[in-house]
Amino acid sequence: MSPKTILVIGSSNTDMTAKTAELPRPGETVLGGVFTMGAGGKGANQAVAAQRLGGKVKFICKVGKDMFGDNSIAQYEKEGLDTSGILRSNLPSGVALIYVDSHAENCIVVASGANGDLTEDDIEKSRKDLESCDILLLQLESPIPSVLKAAKIAHQAGKTVVLNPAPACPLPEELFRNIDLFIPNETELSTFSGMPVTSEKEAEAAAKAMQAKGVGKLIVTMGSKGALICEGGPSVFVPAHKVKAVDTTAAGDTFCGALCVAISEGKSLKEAAEFACAASALTVQKMGAQNSIPYRKDLKF
């Protein structure tokens, strides 16, 4: 049996990261420590994570006709991703400015650039990929109409549609009805459900509210606590690994990519969440986005 294909559609950014003792307040200038520059963007991070962790991955994004775009595509090809669907825009490539403090907390400013130029026509041109993949993984750093169109095409073709709703923003109700697996964190789940999410009990109640909107299954990521799986029956909690976090930048993206790999291999949601938690635990122990994402050989699975 040939391996199942994971199609990731999303953003590609160049991440510029500076580590500081404290995050700057409005109007404040702080002196930072280490500066690094590397490939990032939620879509790219998740695609790279899935590829490194053993998936068969195709990545579709839009980059500028500039050195950042050229470098990104070269890096994705080096990772082994199928880049044949990547598009070029007349807008600059996306850039993210990331600040990380001594407590491993971060704040991020994203200049979307070409990411915001991914159109519904672009998605239509990718219809064959959407209809031939097994799993579609989406996020919200791309224009929402394009996200909706991709989800609808894949859902109607009977594919497993996975949405990581980050960064949270207003979404059409129609999108929820085309999602098989929803992976929000506590804050995002609260935003979309309109309910408080500060505990497992509240997360389960909010998850049920999302399922009433048409969402299939949910996995709620709860940071250093772990992940809550809601499939319709009693929820199941998968605890996180206890590690010393250095930088949480790509932890959620690693979780999503790892989860899709495990699902593509036929694992249950609980087994997939355990695999994803293990991968995320390795990610937070390193600085940066894609350079912190582990390889399959790094995991004891």
Provide the annotated active-site residues.
253
Of 142, 95, 94, nearest in space to 118 by CA? 142
Question: By the 8 A CB rule, do 89 and 121 touch?
Answer: no
Measured distance CA(276)–CA(258) in Å, rounded: 5
Joined tokens for residue 289: 């986005």
Measured distance CA(101)–CA(285) in Å, rounded: 14
* Nearest-10 crossing angle of helices 251-264, 269-283: 140
Dihedral pair phi/psi, residue 238, rounded to 5°: -110, 115
For residue 167, say if its preceding peptide bond is cis, omega within 30 degrees of 0.
yes
Joined tokens for residue 293: 């994402």
